[in-house]
Amino acid sequence: MVNDCTAVWNNCLQTIRRNVNNQSFKTWFEPIRPVRLSNGALTIQVPNKFFYEWLEEHYVSLLKMTIRQELGDTGRLEYQILMAKAGQQPQMHDNQIRVPMPPAAGKSKFKGKNINMPGGMDAGNIKNPFIIPGIKKLKVDPQLNPNYTLDNFIEGDCNRLARSAGYAVSKKPGGTAFNPLVVFGDVGLGKTHLAQAIGNEVLNSNPTKTVLYVSCEKFTNQIIESIKNNAVNDLVNFYQLVDVLIVDDIQFLANKTKTQEIFFHIFNQLHQRGKQIILTSDRPPKDLEGMEDRLISRFKWGLSADLQVPDFETRRAILESKMMKEGVHIPPSVSEYICYNIQNNVRELEGVLVSLIAQSTLNNREIDIDLAKKVIRNFVKQINKEISVEFIQGLVAEHFEVPVEKLSGKTRKRHIVVARQLSMYLAKKMTDQSLKAIGDMFGGRDHSTVIYSCKTVQDLLDTDMVFKDTVVELEKKIKLTLNDR
């Protein structure tokens, strides 16, 4: 009974709380949901595989002890993994993996067992590769990750069009001009999230609709398999059942002539019957290579909307929403630092957050800038250099079109003075150098000159909007150029 499992789990939580620190408890135990208690086994649901592995690695004895205390010596714990961690390979969208807990003290081996996902590759299964077994009425498992919603897809200038088109489509699938809706953009910018969110929203508003998400890779495999088994028609017929078809990463159709042909057929049939098609791609349809023209021209029928790199504020908002979801608190200066340094990829932003939580739990230390630096260094290969004062001088000199050596000279010409003071200001702000060290690098000026420069620049920033914009741009450029190296 549900209540039993909740009660048992609550007891377990009390024991666990006494044995781990608060941060760990919040991070690793609060998100767990008890699912059922049957035959002496308590099943708990964890958000993803990472979570499961973490628990197994770090808390296995505590969990065992706790379960034994609650359920006796024969008590067992089983995990249910709600869904794949974002960004993993398609097969990880297979949800509901049950993992039996190892009986004795031996080290566990991850034994995933699929309970409701077909995979769809067995010959006997091909007719309805996504059917949920055991349900009489034809029901297609949409293959959606319920964690991807429109609500938690943070809006910014970078995604406004795609997001609102997605919203419109979800309210009237097949009934807008956005058919197909093609969402394109670089890796890690939220294509999969948005496409799945639309699917989830359709089902939310209209549970009777048949929605199906499929990665291009899986789709291709199904086709290969169906050709082998002489079952292409079955596959095509199956796809005709769908009201909303989401195909992720269609760039992988490139140079697969047969797959393209079948996809073309499915596309036409669905489109003709007013069904919604949502596609994602890592580039705009016109730039897709190795693709038949007739297919590309179909892609252009609807709306192509791109996802761009989110600006600083949007990155902040995304990170904060992830922090809330994970139930962690990170000082604002640290989240600012992260967003400053991880610019081009939301997935990396998340990765840094997860690593930070892991590192801080593992080493039992506070999340601070030093830890963030360490994690980011591991994460972003490009950031292998600290920003140096010379680097800033070079960029500022270039921007103001003054020879860089003038910054260390004695010239009092107005624009050179501004460039010099601004370089000092940026050096103070963006490097770890002391005032004295900075002064030294500007022709041996003393630290009070650096303080004076910083103050002058700050005053200008407070009063001169144009100047402020210049400085913001320069800071961005310094970070960006650094990442590009």
Q: How far is the CB of 283 from ligand ADP (least distance, A)?
A: 12
Q: x-or-dash pattern for ligand ADP, window 335-364, by CB under 6 A?
A: -----------xx--x--------------
Among the listed ranges 68-76, 138-146, 181-189, 428-436, the one in contact with ligand ADP (CB under 6 A) is 181-189
Tell me whether residue 247 or residue 438 sits nearer to ligand ADP (CB atom): 247
Tell me whether residue 193 or residue 275 sits nearer to ligand ADP (CB atom): 193
The count of other CB atoms within 10 Å of the CB of residue 291 is: 20
377-436 positions binding Mg ion, by CB under 5 A: none
Query: With binding defined as CB under 6 A, does residue 188 bind ligand ADP?
Result: yes
Tell me how many residues contact ligand ADP (CB under 6 A). Answer: 18
Among the listed ranges 103-111, 135-143, 191-199, 359-367, the one in contact with Mg ion (CB under 5 A) is 191-199
347 binds, among ligand ADP, Mg ion, none (CB under 5 to 8 A by kind): ligand ADP
Among the listed ranges 168-176, 188-196, 286-294, 382-390, the one in contact with Mg ion (CB under 5 A) is 188-196
Among 23, 24, 159, 192, binds Mg ion (CB under 5 A): 192
Among 9, 153, 263, 391, binds ligand ADP (CB under 6 A): 153
Query: With binding defined as CB under 6 A, does residue 218 bind ligand ADP?
Result: no
Query: With binding defined as CB under 6 A, does residue 324 bind ligand ADP?
Result: no
Tell me whether residue 52 or residue 238 sits nearer to ligand ADP (CB atom): 52
Q: How far is the CB of 247 from ligand ADP (least distance, A)?
A: 13
User: Are the CB atoms for 240 and 266 separated by under 8 Å?
Assistant: yes
Q: How far is the CB of 194 from ligand ADP (least distance, A)?
A: 7
Among the listed ranges 187-195, 320-328, 344-352, 406-414, the one in contact with Mg ion (CB under 5 A) is 187-195
**How far is it, in rounded angstroms, from Cα 243 to Cα 174?**
8
**How far is it, in rounded angstroms, from Cα 249 to Cα 247?**
7
Query: With binding defined as CB under 6 A, does residue 190 bind ligand ADP?
Result: yes
Tell me whether residue 346 or residue 371 sits nearer to ligand ADP (CB atom): 346
Among 192, 215, 433, 453, binds ligand ADP (CB under 6 A): 192
Tell me whether residue 191 or residue 315 sits nearer to Mg ion (CB atom): 191
The count of other CB atoms within 10 Å of the CB of residue 215 is: 21
Tell me how many residues contact Mg ion (CB under 5 A). Answer: 2
Q: How far is the CB of 83 from Mg ion (least distance, A)?
A: 14
Tell me whether residue 50 or residue 264 sits nearer to ligand ADP (CB atom): 50
Query: With binding defined as CB under 6 A, does residue 145 bind ligand ADP?
Result: no
Query: With binding defined as CB under 6 A, does residue 159 bind ligand ADP?
Result: yes
Among residues 21, 45, 26, the alpha carbon closest in space to that of 34 is found at: 45
User: Are the CB atoms for 16 and 24 separated by under 8 Å?
Assistant: no
What HEC string does the chain produce? CHHHHHHHHHHHHHHHHHHCCHHHHHHHHCCCEEEEEECCEEEEEECCHHHHHHHHHHCHHHHHHHHHHHHCCCCEEEEEECCCCCCCCHHHHCCCEEEECCCCCCCCCCCCEECCCCCCCCHHHCCCCCECCCCCCCCECCCCCCCCCCCCCCCCCCCHHHHHHHHHHHHCCCCCCCCCEEEEECCCCCHHHHHHHHHHHHHHHCCCCCEEEEEHHHHHHHHHHHHHCCCHHHHHHHHHCCCEEEEECHHHHCCCHHHHHHHHHHHHHHHHCCCEEEEEECCCHHHCCCCCHHHHHHHCCCEEEEECCCCHHHHHHHHHHHHHHHCCCCCHHHHHHHHHHCCCCHHHHHHHHHHHHHHHHHCCCCCCHHHHHHHHHHHCCCCCCCCCHHHHHHHHHHHHCCCHHHHHCCCCCHHHHHHHHHHHHHHHHHCCCCHHHHHHHCCCCCHHHHHHHHHHHHHHHHHCHHHHHHHHHHHHHHHHHHHHC
Q: How far is the CB of 248 from Mg ion (least distance, A)?
A: 6
Among the listed ranges 180-188, 363-371, 386-394, 417-425, the one in contact with ligand ADP (CB under 6 A) is 180-188
- Measured between its terminal Cα atoms, the distance across the chain in Å is 59
Query: With binding defined as CB under 6 A, does residue 187 bind ligand ADP?
Result: yes
Among residues 300, 310, 175, the alpha carbon closest in space to that of 250 is found at: 300
Tell me whether residue 53 or residue 217 sits nearer to Mg ion (CB atom): 217
Among 86, 216, 244, 371, binds ligand ADP (CB under 6 A): 86
Among 64, 93, 193, 428, binds ligand ADP (CB under 6 A): 193
Which residue number places its CB atom closest to Mg ion? 192
Which residue number places its CB atom closest to ligand ADP? 190
Q: How far is the CB of 88 from ligand ADP (least distance, A)?
A: 9
**How far is it, in rounded angstroms, from Cα 233 to Cα 264?**
14
Name the residues that contact Mg ion, by CB under 5 A: 191-192
**Residues of the shown chain interacting with ligand ADP in the complex, contacts defined by CB under 6 A:** 86-87, 152-154, 159, 185, 187-193, 318, 346-347, 350
